[in-house]
Structure 1
Amino acid sequence: MQRDDVTFSGPAVFEWQEGEARRIPVWLRFDEPWYVATYPDVKRDLSAGIGANALGHYRAVGQRRGYAPNRWFDEGWYRSVHPDVTESVADGEMRSGFQHYVQKGYRSHSPHWLFSESFYRTHEPDLTGTVLRAAGLANGYDHYLSEGEGGFRSGSLFFDPAVFGDFVARQSEADFSAFRWFIDNKNGDADRFRASWYFDPVWYLGRYPDVRNLIEDGSFSCALHHYLTAGEAAGYSPQAAFSEEFYRERYPDVGACVAAGQFRSGYDHFLAAGAFEGRQPSPDIALVEYAARPMVRADVGSGIFRDPFAHWVAAQERHEVGSADGALDEAHSKMMFCREAAGLLVEAGRRKLDFSYSGVPTVSVIMVLYNQFPLTLMALASLRDCFPGALELIIIDSGSRDETRRLEDYVSGATIRHLDHNASFLLSCNMALEMVSADVVLYLNNDVKLAPGAVQNALDRLTSDPKIGAVGGKIIRTNGRLQEAGSIIWRDGSAYGYLRDADPNCPEANFVRDVDYCSGAFLMVSTALAKTLGGFDEAYAPAYFEESDFCVRIIQNGYRVVYDPFVVIEHLEFGSSCSNSSQALMQRNRRIFVSKQAEFLRGQYPAHAGNAILARSRPTNGLRILFIEDRIPLRSLGSGYVRSNDIVRSMAHQGCAVTVFPVDAHYHSLSRVYGDFPDTVEVLFDRSAEDMDRFLEERAGAFDLVWIGRTHNLARLLPVLHKNSRYLPGTEFILDTEAVISPRLLLRDKVLRLDEQATPKSLDVALREEFECAYFCQKVVAVTDREAEFIQRAGHQNVVVLGHSLQARPTEKGFSDRKDLLFVGAIVDAESPNLDSLIWFGREVMPKVRAELGNEVRLTVVGSRSRKVDLSCLNEFEGLDIVGEVEDLEPFYDTRRVFIAPTRFAGGIPYKIHESASFGLPVVASDLLIAQLGWTDGEDIVSGGAPDAGVFADAVIRLYRDEIFWRHIREGALKRLGEDCAPDRFDAAVTAVLEDARQ
């Protein structure tokens, strides 16, 4: 297609075209066959002499009639969603919406109801303006269509080529482009198969039969076309899993947002925010509970699914949801466990399990056997695989009559004693204890299977503190549910396996704590302590309650019994005994236990499920703290979450029992969540503000102190805290402001010139409004002395200051080994100071820097971002590389030469500058941030003005070129960091706040 074939005369000149060889975007090409087939009157008009050909017809009359030139552009939709376009066509400024799109709309407007330019550019961050121009592409849509009409990329939430292609491929083996196939709707496939997990055409047409008639008469091309252009606005629901009516009624704030035009519908809100906040999409779907499942969190966290809702819909479609709790039938699972054990017998006959060792063993393992040969071999195989070190295996065969009598043929290097009678579990254990030579002894059942690392993890825990006397683990039954996560001894002497039948991955089961006792199925003990206590009390022979009594005696001798969830054991419950006889023995030995341990039992909680939370942990001297934040404070999130994470770490280090509670639901893999916190911290990853009411009632009396991060969270939760104050008797409340927002917002309005017509609010009024809720707390924490003054101005004198904790760790590379600029910061919303500063820097400063230093200089942007934020505006700036969130920032700090912080409005204290300084990367920052830090221009940081584009560019250029100056700033920043952010100073400040709360 030559230039004079371009549909429109006038300024249809594209900036990306250079020289005479002009590339024509796919969406600009006139498609004559499609045009003639789509609009039946074209043939008639051509026969009547209207237009020399189809293109001439389009130019002459097609535009005025609202026809589209090709399948890639929807003229009617384009005009309907862009009122300014409709107006310009009506005024005669433009002949059609397509002309508008060609001349200027292509930069920002979406051309089709199934493609969003902003969505595509935001979700494909590699498609920067530089990349597109280098490829001669006009915009994101040009790229999308040029890459095999979409390939496996997605240009809309409602079209996922992998989903649609999967459904269609089941019906046809033909190779096809999913996007074109869907638009053309061959064989009606667009109404037969899902194009994404967010819309169900079959359900939609069944629910709204009138839509089918509209499709048949040509008003709409398919069900999704109707929903996105008419149905959504009319309050239609998109699929069975989401009820528009229910959602708006359940959440009145959503209806208000829709009425105000902030969202097109309740579903629009749900997809943008509700699905991530854990809101309920329909009466029958408890999304928060489903999202808490480990596999769901892992799939969402890794990006396989965008959100838990899509995961749920996909699971329903594939029939993978299963039972309500996901549990297997236990009788069946036990049978399968035994069959697995039997299946190992062939290998066992050919290859002995070798427990030989030399020197002093690390652990002595005691196992008592009575028949159950296949189970024994499986337990020993898992033990050998679990721990490669020196194990002294001591086996007492207590009168077995099966193949156990020939165990030496299957196991070497073990001490095996065969008895001619059943000497009982307890007496056999005590017999074996006399043979132990290692410093550590492990009591182990023969009806278990150990997870990798179980023995080493228990050993590490036992030796981590000389006051730990015994360690037990998380015991999972064969049906995949918990047997216990540590155990409770009630006042009446009865025992309770904490969290029995719960999901092993639930947050309550996955933090380390002191407990009353742990099951003897896996119990690791100091050998010296075990022998001092004389092993198990023989009054409990043959078995049951001996480990309860044993653990109580360990505690009475001043030692700790610790539950470690990273010690995982699968257990065939009652696999080595008859359950009926076991129950009888339990009742007898309970009476003995009550008699022997009466004094200990008087200090225990009464037997009631409601006391389980209080009884699950042994009392310690540390405070019990409920730590509330916007979300689980992972360090990679930035935006104050690193500081919150450091506070939690400091609390845990001081022996506090910390429970982390997020106000908003977000989804990360469990490995990521637990890898970011001390193992003694309870991280309630499956909760949100909607659960707070019930949570406080369940945890009545469980907390000494509630630490609330961010003032808006206190304001939001205040009604719930008032209502449930009776469940928090004597509890102290601390508000950690993290940042004072009022000065930032006033400065933002001034910088961006917002509300110029409105009378500006005074700072004092804004501060009073911001901290109106602070009266509820005994202490208010500020991040700087400057912000403490703001809080005092608002009328609250009970303020303390707690800054950042950072250890200097400068990277090795020197000045000459580095290049380029670095920006690190989270972008949480469209009004984020970080987004504003990047736009300002990219537009005003970066061109000046590159003009002086050369176009090879680039800026790398690293940091987490909300999926709701459109970053496509950054793609147009030359020299910007948007990386997104990364786990390890050190490689970036080690290779870049200058860090920039061009913030124009902000509150709090800039952690990113402290972090950059800690890695030894000098910073150019705005005067606003320098004032927040209290640092000195030219000594430990370089000023970029208020910021001012010229000043900032000059500062970057000087620091980039002047090695002596660079080294001076680097050393000065490292020194200042040591003064301001020393970890021991931070810990002392946290300690002071907590000690003040104790009084």
Structure 2
Amino acid sequence: MEYYLQAGQLLKQSPNKWFDETWYLATYSDVADAVASGQWKSGFQHYVQHGYRERSPHWLFSEEYYRSFNPELTSFVFSAEGCANGYDHYLSGGECGYRSGSVFFDPGVFSCFISRITHNAEPYGQTTDSKPDSDYSLFLTLSDSISDRCRTSWYFDPVWYLDRYPEVRELIRNGTYTSALHHYVTAGQYNQYSPQASFSEEFYREKYPDVAACISAGLFRSGYDHFLTAGASEGRLPAPDVSLAHYASLATVRADIESGLFRDPYAHWIAAHEKQDPRFCYDDLEEMDAKLAFCRLARGLTVQSGRSVLDFTCPDHPVLSVIIVLHNQFALTLMALASLRDNFDGNIELIIIDSCSHDETVHLERYVQGAKITHLRYNAGFLLSCNMALEQVTANAVLYLNNDVRLAPGAVRAALNRLHSSPYVGAVGGKIIRTNGLLQEAGSIIWRDGGTLGYLRDHDPNCPEANFVRDVDYCSGAFLLVPTSLAKSLGGFDESYCPAYFEEADFCVRLIRKGYRVVYDPSVVIEHLEFGSSTSEASIALMQRNKRVFVQRQAEFLRDQLPAHLGNAVLGRSRRSAAPRVLFIEDRVPLRSLGSGYVRSNDIVRSLARQGCAVTVFPINTHYHSLSRIYGDFPDTVEVLFDRSAVDLDTFLEERAGSFDAVWIGRTHNLARILPVLHKNTRYMAAKGFILDTEAVASPRLLMRERVLGLNGTHEDLDEKLRAEFECAYFCQQIVAVTGQEADFIRRAGHMNVSILGHALKTEPTRTSFSARNGLLFVGAVIDAHSPNLDSLLWFMRDVIPLLREKLGDDIRLTAVGFRTRGVDLGGLREFDGIDVIEGADDLREYYEQHRVFVAPTRFAGGIPYKVHESAAHGVPVVASDILIGQLGWTAGKDILSGGAPDAATFAEAVTTLYQNEELWEQVRQEALHRVETDCSPAKFDTSVMEILKEACR
């Protein structure tokens, strides 16, 4: 150390492996100038005395990255643990918790690769006693011969890099760089080097000229920097032969990304190919192999069947009758019956027709008790056997079920619930998956010529098109649930189709002609062997013969069907109704937990669906949430295209020609972005029915922000900004504002076709008493660094909390709950004690139960504050800025308390009064509940939504 202080730092040497003097001076030119002028002896001295507060010390660690991706690490935490900053915390043990300080260093990935390299050898060429304590420290210690053989993240491949750029090897040998990664991070990415085989810098810049322009402007270091920041989530291609669109739509991939196992689908894809792990293999199975495995599994279960009899004894009136027709295939039958028994614990009347089997099926009574089993001495075929069984049915619902199926959990209950959901539901079918994991059908289509099509055959069962409830032409008889009275009134299957083929299509057509609906429900999942399917000449001849019968008998129905063409499949997948078909376009899939206007968008979708509209949700930007989270947030009749983005809209509109009666576009900037695509594709859409839902008028908010923050604006007046903001609105027949105030702004921009649509909320007051509550609550999303919510939190913690501590004591705390976009730095919030940040809470009720006062200290905003409505609906009184009170149209001092413009002293006084005065607290609580009931009536919301839709389409 003495040498370093006396000479080393003057020679621009680094003091240790954790600080890179050369990189620090090259990165921070102001420090380099100060060192050159003698103000500092070295970059290290600057960092220790000053730079540690916000600068990064090493090319492989970013202070901003570490704090942004670990938002729980506040200054309070650092102080409590005796750490000066994020790097101090990282080196003191944070890295051992598998935290990362750089996108290029993932300790989990590195430890996996280094253990492979050093397996059965003395670790790292050192004694055990000298082994570094952490992966990061270890990597900085390794020789290039080891470090360049292993990955440190899924974003850089050193082996490929050195093979691709042999000149880098020489630079490492002569000491210019310590490793391949060192070269790429400090030089390669600035000079159009590609980081690994699956990303081509040259291709990316050429493919996306807008990215190249951003790089030239200094907004990104490289195309790869853009790809990792935005391109991956936008669905851009990293290389000519690497398409991530389908891969990113897979349920397991999305779940892994949301859970934080991977940063994006690109990293997941690299890991899957690198690991060659069966768990990451998504290649299609050979169908014959899959069928053999399914049959082998069935045979493997026969031992258990011999020891444990399946009990279908029905002591009371059955809830359900199940008809199964058998002809041999004993093992498959037992697996299907076991699946049925495990699937539904209610009373089942099991009716089995054994159509002249010769295997162990003839002794089925040994394995199944309580069933009605008829053994025939001849093969009656499927159709006649089903009709024979129908005569024995006594339950109110009858399920036709194949013996070569396995039911997913809850399939029978889901089907019964759907059948009972409306007296007009005449049949329910499900999502049938073949043994190779691909779809057999998601409902079926009948063409005008009498031909049929299993919709989405060979597609992924998790694709969005397969996962919403809809009325269809018919569903497969492998699983078909029907009201018994209806089945008997039709006489079962028409015996003209004996022995089989087209009988279930004809049956469903007859239901439809009687005024009933055939419903496809994707929550009814069936795995099907398709054992009975055949391509023999006899079978094909029988199909052709029965098709002619079908065409003759159902000629009147068929005249109104679509012509047979795959291009008509989207139109034919659902039976038309009088209700409008609506395409709903938003920034992203509008999950309720995201806040920031997405709750209202979600409510609009729910309202449209509730009123019978067929709704398709199309996100402009790609985000990766688990499918269970997405589908849990929408009605099951809504098609949610979670795997699409703006880059797909052009082809999507062409594919869906004639599919929509109206297009509801959320947020003005989205309309501006997609306007050229809409112009191009107008021939595929209705001439009218375009709705712009502004969600919030941006211009006043931006002017307000500039004024509040003292920024130098564009010097345009409000009218100029409004005209520019709504320049694209001419395209729409109806424009929606959230308040009367914002409607006036839109009219001021020259558009008179404005409707007002606020929020939909039911009051659900929490029960916790005043005395049992404590603390302050804030709810709001932080979408970006310029978020009004982030600004208001910073202002509140800086200016208001100190005043509140004087009045209420040092124990007063603020809990801030809400969604935060990954990578958005919470910045100055970490500098304050007295705030608890809660991210990603799915259920806010517990927070509304615990806290006494809700604060909304917004200094600039547009739209209408849903968070205030929601808090009031839960019975938590609110102190808000006058800006929000004006947007709400509420009365300060009656249903809400005013915090001024906001003003710190006024806000603190209002919070203190409400926090300490129980009588006032109860009064404001009750008045606010009444106000929400009046302003946010769901019935009123539904009426407004339909009026807007009708006005746009008339």
TM category, shorter: over 0.9
Name the CA distance, whole Å, in 1 between partners of 2:94 and 2:571. Answer: 61
The answer (yes or no) to whether the contact 1:849–1:953 under 8 Å persists in 2 is yes
> Match of 1:861, as an amino acid?
A
Alignment of 1:124-143 (within 5 A): 124-143=70-89
The answer (yes or no) to whether the contact 1:151–1:177 under 8 Å persists in 2 is no
CA-CA distance at 1:985 after TM superposition: 0.9
Name the CA distance, whole Å, in 2 between partners of 1:609 and 1:144. Answer: 57
CA gap 1:237/1:638 in 2 versus in 1, 3 angstroms: same
Name the CA distance, whole Å, in 1 between partners of 2:763 and 2:573. Answer: 39
CA-CA distance at 1:187 after TM superposition: 6.5
CA gap 1:566/1:802 in 2 versus in 1, 3 angstroms: same
Q: In terms of mean alpha carbon deviation, does 432-441 or 177-186 score higher? A: 177-186
Structure-2 residue corresponding to 1:787: 742
Matched, 1:239 2:185: no
Matched, 1:945 2:891: no
Which runs of at least 4 in structure 1 moved beyond 6 Å after TM superposition?
321-325
SS in 2 for 1:395: strand
Structure-1 residue corresponding to 2:419: 462
CA-CA distance at 1:446 after TM superposition: 0.6
> Match of 1:699, as an amino acid?
R
Name the CA distance, whole Å, in 1 between partners of 2:402 and 2:363. Answer: 19
Name the CA distance, whole Å, in 1 between partners of 2:556 and 2:507. Answer: 15
SS in 1 for 2:55: coil
Matched, 1:312 2:312: no
Matched, 1:818 2:818: no
Matched, 1:646 2:592: no
CA-CA distance at 1:71 after TM superposition: 1.4
Structure-1 residue corresponding to 2:694: 737
Alignment of 1:404-803 (within 5 A): 404-575=361-532, 579-755=536-712, 760-803=715-758
CA-CA distance at 1:587 after TM superposition: 1.0
Q: In terms of mean alpha carbon deviation, does 989-998 or 926-935 score higher? A: 989-998
Name the CA distance, whole Å, in 2 between partners of 1:672 and 1:324. Answer: 23
Alignment of 1:975-990 (within 5 A): 975-990=930-945
Q: In terms of mean alpha carbon deviation, does 529-538 or 917-926 score higher? A: 917-926
> Match of 1:304, as an amino acid?
L
The answer (yes or no) to whether the contact 1:182–1:190 under 8 Å persists in 2 is yes
Unaligned residue ranges in structure 2 (runs of 5+): 124-130
Matched, 1:888 2:888: no
Name the CA distance, whole Å, in 2 between partners of 1:923 and 1:250. Answer: 51
Deviations along 1:792-811, whole A, 9 cap, x unmatched? 00000000000000111011
> Match of 1:138, as an amino acid?
A
The answer (yes or no) to whether the contact 1:941–1:973 under 8 Å persists in 2 is yes
Alignment of 1:955-970 (within 5 A): 955-970=910-925
Name the CA distance, whole Å, in 1 between partners of 2:162 and 2:15. Answer: 29
Structure-1 residue corresponding to 2:126: none
Name the CA distance, whole Å, in 2 between partners of 1:498 and 1:322. Answer: 28
SS in 2 for 1:906: coil
CA-CA distance at 1:248 after TM superposition: 1.7
Q: In terms of mean alpha carbon deviation, does 78-87 or 387-396 score higher? A: 78-87
Structure-1 residue corresponding to 2:248: 291
Name the CA distance, whole Å, in 2 between partners of 1:431 and 1:793. Answer: 73
Aligned CA RMSD, in angstroms, stands at: 1.5
SS in 1 for 2:9: helix
CA-CA distance at 1:308 after TM superposition: 0.6
CA-CA distance at 1:57 after TM superposition: 2.3
Name the CA distance, whole Å, in 2 between partners of 1:928 and 1:709. Answer: 23
Name the CA distance, whole Å, in 2 between partners of 1:612 and 1:588. Answer: 24
Name the CA distance, whole Å, in 2 between partners of 1:898 and 1:708. Answer: 36
Name the CA distance, whole Å, in 1 between partners of 2:192 and 2:156. Answer: 14
SS in 2 for 1:706: strand
SS in 2 for 1:815: coil
CA-CA distance at 1:64 after TM superposition: 1.9
Name the CA distance, whole Å, in 2 between partners of 1:817 and 1:769. Answer: 51
SS in 2 for 1:469: strand
Deviations along 1:476-529, whole A, 9 cap, x unmatched? 111111111000000000111001111111000000000000000100000000
CA-CA distance at 1:188 after TM superposition: 3.0
Deviations along 1:163-189, whole A, 9 cap, x unmatched? 000111123365752111101124633
The answer (yes or no) to whether the contact 2:272–2:281 under 8 Å persists in 1 is no
> Match of 1:402, as an amino acid?
D
Matched, 1:100 2:46: yes
The answer (yes or no) to whether the contact 1:392–1:414 under 8 Å persists in 2 is yes
Deviations along 1:46-83, whole A, 9 cap, x unmatched? xxxxxxxxx23222222221112221111111122122
Alignment of 1:53-92 (within 5 A): 55-92=1-38
SS in 1 for 2:616: strand
The answer (yes or no) to whether the contact 1:703–1:731 under 8 Å persists in 2 is no
Deviations along 1:239-264, whole A, 9 cap, x unmatched? 11111122122222212222222222
Name the CA distance, whole Å, in 1 between partners of 2:280 and 2:919. Answer: 67
> Match of 1:859, as an amino acid?
L
The answer (yes or no) to whether the contact 2:69–2:823 under 8 Å persists in 1 is no
* Paired-residue identity, %: 65
CA-CA distance at 1:779 after TM superposition: 0.4
1:804 to 755, 759, 769: 759
Structure-2 residue corresponding to 1:114: 60
Q: In terms of mean alpha carbon deviation, does 220-229 or 588-597 score higher? A: 220-229
Alignment of 1:7-406 (within 5 A): 55-147=1-93, 150-172=96-118, 174=123, 176-186=133-143, 188-320=145-277, 326-406=283-363
The answer (yes or no) to whether the contact 1:555–1:561 under 8 Å persists in 2 is yes
SS in 1 for 2:687: coil
CA-CA distance at 1:293 after TM superposition: 1.2
Name the CA distance, whole Å, in 2 between partners of 1:299 and 1:322. Answer: 12
Matched, 1:833 2:779: no
Name the CA distance, whole Å, in 2 between partners of 1:954 and 1:258. Answer: 50
Structure-1 residue corresponding to 2:127: none
Q: In terms of mean alpha carbon deviation, does 777-786 or 849-858 score higher? A: 849-858
SS in 2 for 1:357: coil
> Match of 1:925, as an amino acid?
A
CA-CA distance at 1:118 after TM superposition: 1.6
> Match of 2:61, as an amino acid?
F
Name the CA distance, whole Å, in 2 between partners of 1:216 and 1:846. Answer: 57
Deviations along 1:753-810, whole A, 9 cap, x unmatched? 2226x5x110000000000000000000101000000000000000000000011101
Unaligned residue ranges in structure 1 (runs of 5+): 1-54
Matched, 1:901 2:847: no
Structure-2 residue corresponding to 1:869: 824
SS in 1 for 2:526: strand
> Match of 1:110, as an amino acid?
S
CA-CA distance at 1:731 after TM superposition: 4.2
> Match of 2:585, as an amino acid?
I
Name the CA distance, whole Å, in 1 between partners of 2:720 and 2:278. Answer: 52
Structure-2 residue corresponding to 1:856: 811
SS in 1 for 2:117: coil
Deviations along 1:549-588, whole A, 9 cap, x unmatched? 1000000111000000110111111347675433222111
Q: In terms of mean alpha carbon deviation, does 512-521 or 868-877 score higher? A: 868-877
CA-CA distance at 1:701 after TM superposition: 0.5
> Match of 1:948, as an amino acid?
D
Name the CA distance, whole Å, in 1 between partners of 2:195 and 2:802. Answer: 46
CA-CA distance at 1:539 after TM superposition: 0.5
The answer (yes or no) to whether the contact 2:688–2:733 under 8 Å persists in 1 is no
Name the CA distance, whole Å, in 2 between partners of 1:946 and 1:254. Answer: 41
Structure-1 residue corresponding to 2:883: 928
Q: In terms of mean alpha carbon deviation, does 146-155 or 545-554 score higher? A: 146-155
